[in-house]
Structure 1
Amino acid sequence: MWKGYRQRFVPWIMLNLSKRARRIVNPGNDKIIEDKRVLATLLNLLPHLYNKHSNVGPCVASKNMEVMFSVLGFSVTCGPSGLPGGGKGVFLAEGSVERGTVICFYPGTIYKFMEPIFFPSLGNKFVFRCLDRLHIDGNDRGLSKIIYKSCVGRDSAWPYEAADTTWLTGAAVVPWNIGQYVNNQTTGSDANVAYQELNISLRDVPPALHCFLPNIWYSGGAEGSLRLIALVSTRNISKGEEVLSNYYTLVADTKS
């Protein structure tokens, strides 16, 4: 439990900062691809997806995996990790991808600096810390689940939902809203994706598609923008491979 949780425990991370891997070479640019390409990929897939109310058979999630493969040429899924003690992991279920492909997104509640994330973070290994000190809680259980659903309910305006809640059920209607289950690389298994943080304007996403978005603000959606965490491939990935990241991504400083 501690071995996994310590990767998200900020005091432990600071004590081990020297061991953190570097994701980029050029200072001031932590992007694998341009943000507009991430948004374009998002807007390419979402209009084709079925929502949780669609009458498309017994499993909307399975149908949307077929849609993802049809539109993007690949699909992702959760399954038992191949890493010792890895628990649940993310795999390329169908197809293959080249470097610079958006594989999945990290879902959850977005907390600004100084907002009350302390209690939801206790024993929670799914809290992602952004470079600007925003935090995204991707836990699908307990208090985290209650808070996320409450925030979505608050910001939803009939007939549209403000964000995707199906990833909380273990059968995400949006196949790529599973980035919180991507495991950390090991000595024998190198990372093949990197985290890319970006903000999108909610005006760029039609209201009918907001129900597929992976994140919601804890403090409300009045900002008009949304923070997303995309996991972008850093090399080619083939069918059946487990998707692995590096929790210790760090922007190189100017003295490096």
Structure 2
Amino acid sequence: MQDFWKSYKYRFIPWILMNLKREIREQSEHLRGLDVPKVKAELKDAIVTSLRSGKIRHGQIVVRKSAIPNCGNGVFSASAISKHSFVSLYPGTIYMPGDPLLIQSLGNSFIFRCSDGVLIDGNNKSLSNMIFKSIAGRLGPNSRNLSWLDLTNEIAMGQIINNGGSQKCNVAYQEIDFTESELRSTRFKLIPYVHFNTNISPYPFRMVAIYAIKDIEPGEELLSSYFSIDSS
């Protein structure tokens, strides 16, 4: 139970709110001296390119047992990753503020909280899995990417990256919103997101990118700080 809480607390909204000052402090550390608009623009270009081709760079990252005790699977670099490079997306069902999420969130350590209150359920199992498949099915055949649910899609493995704390993290999250025109050239069947509420416009279309905050050597486990969310 103690090991579960160590991981789950970073997704537990009341605990996050109580530690908001720490979030701001840790965020500022890796942003110091960073040209955020430039990095964000480069990430946006990389995501669009990936959603056209269906891959980031074949063999860049792999899933295997984490080196952190009791953490299950983790994500590892299979080749060198340069600082500020796009690594993957944090996929899942997007919940806007006010959308019902209570039942899905119980015992769910894959709820990602964006800075503006938007939530992404990156759980690939149980009720979360069924909800994603149901919504994707209603949107039509090949409307969204389902391969992230069985952990076979390099573009969407961000939800498996473990927490290393601010001292050990080598990747960070970047919230990016896309306009309809920016996504027009992509293949929607490669997008690993659905909106829980399909009666509203999905635009601006929120995605959460994971990018390297330092050069990463082959074989390194990717570690984030669950507080390192850039919304600039």
TM-score using structure 1 length = 0.78
- For the 8 Å contact 1:23–1:194, the answer to whether it is kept is no
CA deviations on 1:192-214 (whole Å, 9 max, x unpaired) are 11110011124333477111112
**Of 131, 149, 159, which aligns to 1:168?**
149
In structure 2, the residue matched to 1:55 is none
197, 208, 216: which one aligns with 1:229: 208
Q: For residue 145 of structure 2, give the secondary structure of its aligned residue in structure 1.
A: coil
The 3-state SS of whatever aligns with 2:27 is: coil
- Report the more deviating stretch, 242-251 or 80-89: 242-251
Aligned partner of 2:126 in structure 1 is: 142
Task: Find the counterpart in structure 2 of residue 242 from structure 1.
Answer: 221
Aligned to 1:59: none
Q: Is the 1:24–1:30 Cα contact (8 Å) retained in structure 2?
A: no
Answering whether residue 25 of structure 2 is matched by residue 47 of structure 1, we say no
Partner of 2:96: 112
1:23 corresponding residue in structure 2: 27
> CA contact under 8 A between 2:48 and 2:186: conserved in structure 1?
no
User: Distance in 2 between the 1:202 and 1:154 partners?
Assistant: 20
Q: CA RMSD, aligned part only?
A: 2.7
* SS of residue matched to 2:26: coil
Cα distance, 1:185 vs. partner? 0.7
Give aligned pairs, total.
224
- Larger helix proportion, structure 1 or 2? 2
* Greater gyration radius: 1
Query: How far does the alpha carbon of each residue in 1:102-142 deviate from its partner, in whole angstroms, 9 at most, with x for none?
Result: 11110000000011011100000000000000000000111
Q: Which moved more, 1:15-24 or 1:81-90?
A: 15-24
Question: What is the distance in 1 between the residues matched to 2:219 and 2:62?
Answer: 10
Question: Structure 2 counterpart of 1:4, which letter?
Answer: S
1:64-94 Cα offsets, whole Å, 9 max, x none, are 6xx723xxxx61111111112221111111x
1:68 aligned residue: 57
Tell me the secondary structure at the aligned position of residue 60 of structure 2. Answer: strand
Structure 2: 5+ residue stretches without partners: none
Structure 2 residue aligned with 1:131: 115
3-state SS of paired residue (1:115): coil
